[in-house]
Chains A and B, each alone.
Chain A
């Protein structure tokens, strides 16, 4: 009993917070929105801090649920990202009627992700995946009066249903050929038959859908654009990050013996994802759409890192996601505050932003530099290790394509920076008052972008925890 309490402590804490919100919602006292938001952020902060204590390794529930220090680290990264998003959405939620529901839904999806990361069984994994998806559709609809928001939610739920169906099909085929659902046993029953390969492709497609790799990415742009910014950033950072964590561990441990086959698949997907993500991003004028496509392109780089098949692969992916949390949330934080105060979302609206809002301009610029991988921001180091991992196979054509794509991505990131700093604008965005909580989140992101890259111990710490291929 004690073991269950301790090994699942992250999940218990989240559940507790969800229940607290449930009681607040059904209780008779009316809470002021500000107070509720402060409470929520304090609880999330406590949750984040608790992530660092009592971390033990173990496996429970008939080998359904496992945990170890790497998994705890991954959960901490997700906790941190959720906290940052919650801080940033203060401004948006302040005038929203359903704050308690927002947090209940949000934390339910986080709980789902935790189960997914800790799963040692395909059923458990599926359960976690669904728990992390379905409430998200409700969240995407959270701008209740906007038609676009409902459209986004609808598209998300339909596409998810489709991908989940195919994923389940893959799981059942895998069960049929191997006779087990236990992740640590499946690998012994893999023989590389065509049926198993097909099952793997279905599974891969399910993952690729969640991380929006090309050609399974088409839902991304519509959903990102329609959803509230907080949800968009959650989708693009947290839910993607969680799936990637599982993806790496499943590929590296379970499907080890099919290595060469999936390595080539990954390279193919990676190239397609980078190129198509970038080509679409170039054409965008809406910043949320631009960030959506750029996040697709970023996934292409992550896939390149995964294709390295080594301890460096795992490390570089986790390290990059940590950096990505800071960089992407830094950018989304600024977009969120500007969009919720002025409703302006296009690149031309951002012209001359520096004159009126230097703080916001610098925050988004540093974040964009990091996304583009310009030294000395952390993004550079993240991409550097991803490419280094990919280079281990000696596929130099692939590396060159990746490098070229970095240049293309530089173009659209810098267009935005140019608009902010150099272009003149008669109707520039006026001075925006940034409330304290979002400001804290932005400062944390900026500090993270600078520190994570330069402080080498972090990388080495992840490297020590990571598993090899």
Chain B
């Protein structure tokens, strides 16, 4: 391995741009800040492509196995001889893949925002936040230990909070940012406790050491974590489930998904970056990072599988009923992440047995491209019609040809139609499911058909349906908005052909996967049927959809109301937490705690007043106290305490 220290620049360049823009941007170069942010990210993206290339094809493979390298590692806080908090960069297949995804999508978003956010008063602040987010996300994926990942995890949360609430004059944006922060923070509590349990038993926080000690069934650490139990469940299961709760919060898994749709209040390019390609997959990444440990425990893996599966189905159903185009995309994201999660859950360690793991990472990879493309396309549409609602759209295909074509490509990709990227990764997931768990397979098959339906419902409603009412003021948008769409469109066509299974597997040994065309017939046919149905219902304006939705009755309304999950949360918090916990606590705080504090403060002030006489300003008095001090010490320690 040659000198890889330059990899540190990949996260540090966005950080530098954050510092520069955050401190001076608004004052000195508001207009230029977009260019500055984009340039630094371009450099970072080029570096990461180079790093990934050299890792995968030059030095990463030793004896046909991809190794894990730690670069620039130094110990930050040394607690004892064995436990320390380190900082460093971990290079392995998934971190390299994530670095490419994050920098690339972020670059596209940076470029797109040049046009989309033009004329915004807080333009520099926006780019500063984008840079901060990119830095945090890169730090997260490159972390060498759990504590480091936790720090960046929280930083990602903060920058996401700042970006969702970017339009802070809008009440709904503030509420949404708060909701996202509180819900994910709540989940992070689980994450923190999980980390502490893992760290306590494994006696290390370092990923590599942790995985190697815990996967060795003879090690003292393994015995300690499997023998300790709480409520009849082993410490290992507790730790993994708690860590997974943290991941589920960030990745918007049921029932912690409620923040994601509201987060659409942020600027649309932000949604493309954070809520499609990067932050929301952090949970998947976390499970993948600790996968060898997860694989030790069936219960934890089952939790991952079924949470993912339920989220995938529920989100797909809700997506069919929403009318706000960004919300449709948000639920679709949640559903796709559900796919990635359960694919991890059904995987095992190894090459062919680890197909689920590989498929999950592959889907994460391809999804990043087509989902950010969908969001950016939606952004372009919103930019034109100034509304998020489907009813204000329709017939836009002539007004915005490039957006139309690229959006279509992305819809085909997410529906799993060959040869678009989504097809390859989704096939692998379905194949892995059918090999290991038939129930999961059938549910996944139905969900995938639903995906095609709601995506084409979206597509036809935007670009076909009625005749266009919007009159174009500024055309399709600036060149900087079109270029990312085109690039991402090309990527969506191309990335499916990456020989992913040879690069990213959970034991570092690549294998040769092939598409089983006989197997693919069913899902592709189902998707095509769904698309056909969607085209019948939505291509032309007609009454059919309304009739169908009426005939579905209660089920339709409850899906449209997102199955009342938000209401359940509200009910629990209002009825139980407020009256039973919050109110008594508030009373206790107001009367007992504050009273005690005031008493202490008053006493302190009194004593302080009393002793001021000692400080008289006379040196002879000082000498007296000096002698008195010596005498007191002598009497106390020679005669009384000895």
Contacts and interface: CB of A to CB of B under 8 A. Distances in A.
Among A158, A205, A215, A216, the one with the most B-chain Cβ atoms within 10 Å of its Cβ is A215
Contacts of A154: 619
B403 to A, nearest CB: 45
Contacts of B615: 218, 221, 280
A276 B623 CA distance: 18
Interface string B60-91: 00000000000000111110000000000000
A261 B608 contact: no
Contact of A457 (B74, B621, B634): B74
A85 B145 CA distance: 41
A202 B74 contact: no
Among B78, B607, B626, the one with the most A-chain Cβ atoms within 10 Å of its Cβ is B626
B604 interface: yes
Nearest to A154: B619
Contact of A280 (B77, B78, B608, B629): B608
Contact of A159 (B78, B611, B617, B622): B622
Contact of B623 (A162, A208, A268, A456): A162
A279 B611 contact: yes
Interface in B595-628: 604-605, 607-609, 611-612, 614-615, 617, 619, 621-623, 625-626, 628
B638 A158 contact: no
A198 interface: yes
A166 B604 contact: no
B622 A218 contact: yes
Given A166-B630, A456-B76, A460-B78, A218 B625 contact: yes
B627 to A, nearest CB: 9
A162 B622 CA distance: 10
A215 B628 contact: yes
A158 B620 CA distance: 9
B641 interface: yes
**Main secondary structure on A side of the interface with B:** helix
A264 B76 CA distance: 34
Contacts of B604: 279, 282, 408
A205 B78 contact: no
B633 interface: yes
Nearest to B639: A194
Given A159-B622, A201-B634, A264 B608 contact: no
B231 interface: no
A201 B638 CA distance: 10
B78 A456 contact: yes
B637 interface: yes
Given A279-B611, A280-B615, A201 B74 contact: no
Contact of A215 (B75, B77, B612, B629): B629
Contact of B614 (A218, A268, A459): A218
A345 interface: no
Interface string A427-469: 0000000000000000000000000001011011000000000
A204 interface: yes
A176 B633 CA distance: 21
Interface in A402-420: 408
B608 A279 contact: yes
A123 interface: no
Interface string A206-236: 0011000001101101100000000000000
A280 B613 CA distance: 11
Contacts of B621: 218
B641 A264 contact: yes
A265 interface: yes
Contact of B637 (A222, A265, A283, A460): A265
Contacts of B608: 279-280, 282-283
Contacts of B605: 282
B382 to A, nearest CB: 39
Contact of B629 (A159, A216, A219): A216
Given A219-B619, A222-B617, A456-B76, A209 B626 contact: yes
B637 A159 contact: no
A221 B622 CA distance: 12
A197 B638 contact: yes
Contacts of B75: 456, 460
A198 B634 contact: yes
Contact of B619 (A159, A205, A280): A159
A154 B77 CA distance: 47
A222 B617 CA distance: 7
Contact of B626 (A197, A216, A276): A216
A109 interface: no
A201 B633 contact: yes
Contacts, number: 86
A221 B636 CA distance: 27
A395 B641 CA distance: 17
B17 to A, nearest CB: 20
Contact of A276 (B77, B611, B632): B611
A408 B603 CA distance: 12
Contacts of B630: 166, 201-202, 205
Contacts of B638: 194, 197-198, 201
A219 B76 contact: no
A381 to B, nearest CB: 8
A276 B625 CA distance: 14
A150 interface: no
A268 B629 CA distance: 12
Contacts of B632: 215
A163 interface: yes
A208 B638 CA distance: 18
Contacts of A9: none
Contacts of A216: 625-626, 629
Interface in A148-201: 154-155, 158-159, 162-163, 166, 194, 197-198, 201
Contacts of A162: 623, 626
Nearest to B624: A218
A197 B628 contact: no
Contact of A219 (B607, B614, B622): B622
B74 A159 contact: no
A264 B78 contact: no
Nearest to A200: B637
Contacts of B607: 279
A204 B626 contact: no
A216 B637 CA distance: 17
Given A408-B604, A456-B78, A460-B78, A283 B612 contact: yes
A160 to B, nearest CB: 11
Contacts of A202: 630
Interface string B279-294: 0000000000000000
Interface string B304-339: 000000000000000000000000000000000000
A221 B615 CA distance: 9
Given A198-B638, A215-B625, A456-B77, A158 B611 contact: no
B40 to A, nearest CB: 22
Interface in A272-306: 276, 279-280, 282-283
A159 B623 contact: yes
A215 B632 CA distance: 10
A265 B632 CA distance: 11
A276 B612 CA distance: 10
Among B617, B622, B632, B642, the one with the most A-chain Cβ atoms within 10 Å of its Cβ is B622
A122 B563 CA distance: 82
Given A218-B626, A283-B612, A456-B76, 12 more contacts: A162-B623, A201-B637, A205-B630, A209-B626, A215-B632, A268-B633, A279-B608, A456-B74, A456-B77, A457-B74, A459-B78, A460-B78
6 contacts: A155-B622, A159-B626, A201-B638, A215-B629, A218-B625, A283-B612
Which 8 A-B residue pairings sit nearest by Cβ, starting from the closest? A215-B629, A218-B622, A279-B608, A456-B76, A205-B630, A201-B633, A215-B625, A158-B619
Interface of A: 154-155, 158-159, 162-163, 166, 194, 197-198, 201-202, 204-205, 208-209, 215-216, 218-219, 221-222, 261, 264-265, 268, 276, 279-280, 282-283, 408, 454, 456-457, 459-460
